[in-house]
Homo-oligomer: A and B are copies of this chain.
């Protein structure tokens, strides 16, 4: 159930606990910033009766009324008591700026746990502790100790780093970038990124949600919420800490290859979150997403009066995945009649340096009006005749008329400053670098793709769950943590197609199973120590059924001789399959998001080329299809050089089933199906390795 944060983000009255008239103290900075709040403001501090012209009360119980929001700026030791007083007084929302909690060792962590208990007891919305504070320009509240406030705007921002908040405020002030909400998340003791995602999504004045995160508290909840929000409102996140993977026991292919960052990449992709790599991208993306309309397609029109700028924009369009629009005949004719003779009328349209303002305007409007153009960039260079401010007005008018998204690069320094103002007031992003303008509009295309992508609900697939649990319990009862072919039944219980085969404890049994299979078989050693069966010579292929007992005997005897320390449990007798295209599907548990699937081509592709892609389970059919399409070598599956495609539908089904297996059975820590053989009419898992946890999940 999402929390209602209206009292926190849109309060009508505020108390500052720890307010002080002593300048240089945080309690003073907060009080000074809160001064501009139009509603009632109370100071709370036993030392004063008035602070900065506001009435001051000794303590929360003394307040004349229960305010909507308490901002707490006192030493850590006293916060607990104040929070309890808030609860008693009926104050439902608190921002705890004070530090000295989880970030400050064991004692602090204990203090933080107490805060959480109190918050739960009184059902309080608590932001923090250890935050810069929050700003809601929507109600004129700045409850931070930052030296800069925020301009009003349509971007909601949250950050796990308080220092980064102050940086962004100072920079945004210079860039005149505005915010609807500005939240420092701090220790996330009670409220976390999910609560604010939800609150921002429900604020109609917020057009884009922006976050700086170093971690996520509850990956599954985050994904559920974000998946829903991004259908209506863009989310852009800078997730820092790519190298945080840390120590983790790994024993599978998937384990070796899956870093923590793969999980974030996959989860963000699946939720439709746009990931920014740098601060510059974070706000370039957020600005255009909150100010420009979404395009219908990815065909870009480029209008310039400087050839070089047009070439740079066309290059950027290519690497950003845009298509340089092909103008229709009518547009070309109209352009030819308007622009100077030397102009290039094919997109990029270069009206050349001596074109007049009217000619530039006509060209830009013609290009934007072309039904084959979905979005545009308008470019220029400093010019002896044209003023950038006039060009800016022309760009604004053209954008308004066409209603299509646009960005501008006038490639100017000081000469372009007035133009910047005009464009900013029109919400048109403007950059020196044409490539950056193109990248900005490309973000709109990306988000349009996110809104329009096929969606299907995550499916709950039928499975013999009882059988699966039985197999896993048996393994754990035997204190086995690494399992192989003997668990093929586990896959079968989940409807995952497997090569026919059975475990044989003795050579005689192997012979009987081979006779039943009734065609040449593969005989594979079963030993928890000898997991690389092929490398140790533990596999015999193409054995006729009548020889199976002898071959099995020789295989076991030979390996017992060579590896006297190894436990030999018997052999696995399996039908021989014809050669097929090999893929691998694996799973590891990500600490944030849970079951992380890895899919890729098998054999040397996975080992040498690392051509793999990741997704978090449970996933929808559309997401499973996307997973297959993400690998570079996908053409090999879809058919190349006259080869028929493999049965991709069955492959997608298999991926969904493995996802279900991982979701249902948390004691499976790691899982590799390798290889899975793919044929035009079916797919078959041939081998499996998995690791289960030793204790009950």
A residues near B, CB below 8 A? 24, 26, 29, 103-104, 145-148, 159-164, 166-167, 169-175, 212, 214, 238, 240-243, 277-280, 305-309, 311-312, 314-316, 318-319, 324, 342, 353, 381-384, 411-416, 432-436, 535, 604-605, 607-611, 632-633, 635-636, 640-642
Q: A212-B308, A279-B435, A633-B608 are in contact. Are A170 and B241 (CB under 8 A)?
A: no
B311, A241: Cβ atoms under 8 Å?
A: yes
A163, B243: Cβ atoms under 8 Å?
A: no
Ranked 4 nearest A-B pairs via Cβ = A161-B308, A163-B306, A174-B413, A167-B411
B312, A414: Cβ atoms under 8 Å?
A: no
A312, B171: Cβ atoms under 8 Å?
A: no
- Enumerate chain B residues within 8 angstroms of A414, measured Cβ to Cβ: 170, 173-174
Q: With contacts A167-B381, A243-B314 known, what are 17 further pairs, Cβ within 8 A?
A: A147-B384, A148-B382, A148-B413, A162-B353, A163-B382, A164-B381, A164-B411, A166-B382, A166-B383, A170-B412, A174-B414, A279-B411, A280-B436, A535-B642, A607-B640, A608-B640, A609-B632
Q: A381-B167, A382-B147, A433-B280 are in contact. Are A306 and B161 (CB under 8 A)?
A: yes
- Enumerate chain B residues within 8 angstroms of A307, measured Cβ to Cβ: 161, 163
A186 to chain B, nearest CB (A): 12
A309, B173: Cβ atoms under 8 Å?
A: no
A382, B315: Cβ atoms under 8 Å?
A: no
A240, B382: Cβ atoms under 8 Å?
A: no
Question: How many angstroms from the CA of A324 to the CA of B244 in the assembled complex?
Answer: 13
- Enumerate chain B residues within 8 angstroms of A604, measured Cβ to Cβ: 633, 636, 640
- Enumerate chain B residues within 8 angstroms of A171, measured Cβ to Cβ: 411-413, 432
Q: A242-B318, A535-B642, A640-B604 are in contact. Are A415 and B353 (CB under 8 A)?
A: no
Q: A104-B342, A307-B161, A608-B635 are in contact. Are A167 and B382 (CB under 8 A)?
A: yes
- Enumerate chain B residues within 8 angstroms of A413, measured Cβ to Cβ: 148, 170-175
A60 to chain B, nearest CB (A): 26
- Enumerate chain B residues within 8 angstroms of A26, measured Cβ to Cβ: 384
- Enumerate chain B residues within 8 angstroms of A435, measured Cβ to Cβ: 277-280
Question: How many angstroms from the CA of A324 to the CA of B436 in the assembled complex?
Answer: 29
- Enumerate chain B residues within 8 angstroms of A240, measured Cβ to Cβ: 308, 311-312, 315
- Enumerate chain B residues within 8 angstroms of A314, measured Cβ to Cβ: 241, 243
A540 to chain B, nearest CB (A): 20
Which chain B residue lies CB-closest to A410? B167
B243, A315: Cβ atoms under 8 Å?
A: yes
Question: How many angstroms from the CA of A381 to the CA of B172 in the assembled complex?
Answer: 14
B278, A433: Cβ atoms under 8 Å?
A: yes
B309, A163: Cβ atoms under 8 Å?
A: yes
- Enumerate chain B residues within 8 angstroms of A146, measured Cβ to Cβ: 382
Which of A280, A382, A640 is the most central at the interface, judged by chain B CB atoms within 10 Å of its CB? A382
Question: How many angstroms from the CA of A411 to the CA of B436 in the assembled complex?
Answer: 20
B415, A160: Cβ atoms under 8 Å?
A: no
- Enumerate chain B residues within 8 angstroms of A608, measured Cβ to Cβ: 632-633, 635-636, 640
- Enumerate chain B residues within 8 angstroms of A316, measured Cβ to Cβ: 278
A-B contact pairs, 9 of them (CB 8 A): A26-B384, A147-B384, A161-B309, A163-B305, A163-B308, A170-B414, A240-B315, A280-B432, A607-B641
- Enumerate chain B residues within 8 angstroms of A242, measured Cβ to Cβ: 315, 318-319
- Enumerate chain B residues within 8 angstroms of A432, measured Cβ to Cβ: 167, 171, 279-280
Which chain B residue lies CB-closest to A637? B608
Which chain B residue lies CB-closest to A160? B308
A589 to chain B, nearest CB (A): 23
B640, A306: Cβ atoms under 8 Å?
A: no
Which chain B residue lies CB-closest to A315? B242
- Enumerate chain B residues within 8 angstroms of A415, measured Cβ to Cβ: 147-148, 170
- Enumerate chain B residues within 8 angstroms of A162, measured Cβ to Cβ: 353
Question: How many angstroms from the CA of A415 to the CA of B164 in the assembled complex?
Answer: 14
A145, B384: Cβ atoms under 8 Å?
A: yes
A309 to chain B, nearest CB (A): 7
Question: How many angstroms from the CA of A172 to the CA of B382 in the assembled complex?
Answer: 13
Question: How many angstroms from the CA of A243 to the CA of B348 in the assembled complex?
Answer: 12
Which chain B residue lies CB-closest to A611? B609
Question: How many angstroms from the CA of A617 to the CA of B642 in the assembled complex?
Answer: 34
Question: How many angstroms from the CA of A146 to the CA of B382 in the assembled complex?
Answer: 9
A36 to chain B, nearest CB (A): 19
Question: How many angstroms from the CA of A160 to the CA of B306 in the assembled complex?
Answer: 12
Which chain B residue lies CB-closest to A239? B315
- Enumerate chain B residues within 8 angstroms of A169, measured Cβ to Cβ: 382
- Enumerate chain B residues within 8 angstroms of A434, measured Cβ to Cβ: 279
Question: How many angstroms from the CA of A605 to the CA of B636 in the assembled complex?
Answer: 10
| Contact partner, A381, options B160, B166, B635, Cβ 8 Å | B166
- Enumerate chain B residues within 8 angstroms of A279, measured Cβ to Cβ: 312, 411, 432-435
Question: How many angstroms from the CA of A342 to the CA of B605 in the assembled complex?
Answer: 46
- Enumerate chain B residues within 8 angstroms of A163, measured Cβ to Cβ: 305-309, 353, 381-382, 411
Question: How many angstroms from the CA of A27 to the CA of B103 in the assembled complex?
Answer: 68
A167, B315: Cβ atoms under 8 Å?
A: no
A398 to chain B, nearest CB (A): 21
B312, A170: Cβ atoms under 8 Å?
A: no
A131 to chain B, nearest CB (A): 13
Question: How many angstroms from the CA of A167 to the CA of B306 in the assembled complex?
Answer: 10
Question: How many angstroms from the CA of A103 to the CA of B318 in the assembled complex?
Answer: 26
| Contact partner, A243, options B212, B306, B318, B384, Cβ 8 Å | B318
Which of A24, A243, A278, A605 is the most central at the interface, judged by chain B CB atoms within 10 Å of its CB? A278
A580 to chain B, nearest CB (A): 14
A436, B311: Cβ atoms under 8 Å?
A: no
A403 to chain B, nearest CB (A): 29
Question: How many angstroms from the CA of A24 to the CA of B312 in the assembled complex?
Answer: 30
| Contact partner, A164, options B170, B308, B315, Cβ 8 Å | B308
Question: How many angstroms from the CA of A183 to the CA of B94 in the assembled complex?
Answer: 62
A255 to chain B, nearest CB (A): 17
Question: How many angstroms from the CA of A610 to the CA of B634 in the assembled complex?
Answer: 12
A71 to chain B, nearest CB (A): 17
Question: How many angstroms from the CA of A309 to the CA of B24 in the assembled complex?
Answer: 25
- Enumerate chain B residues within 8 angstroms of A170, measured Cβ to Cβ: 382, 411-416
A438 to chain B, nearest CB (A): 10
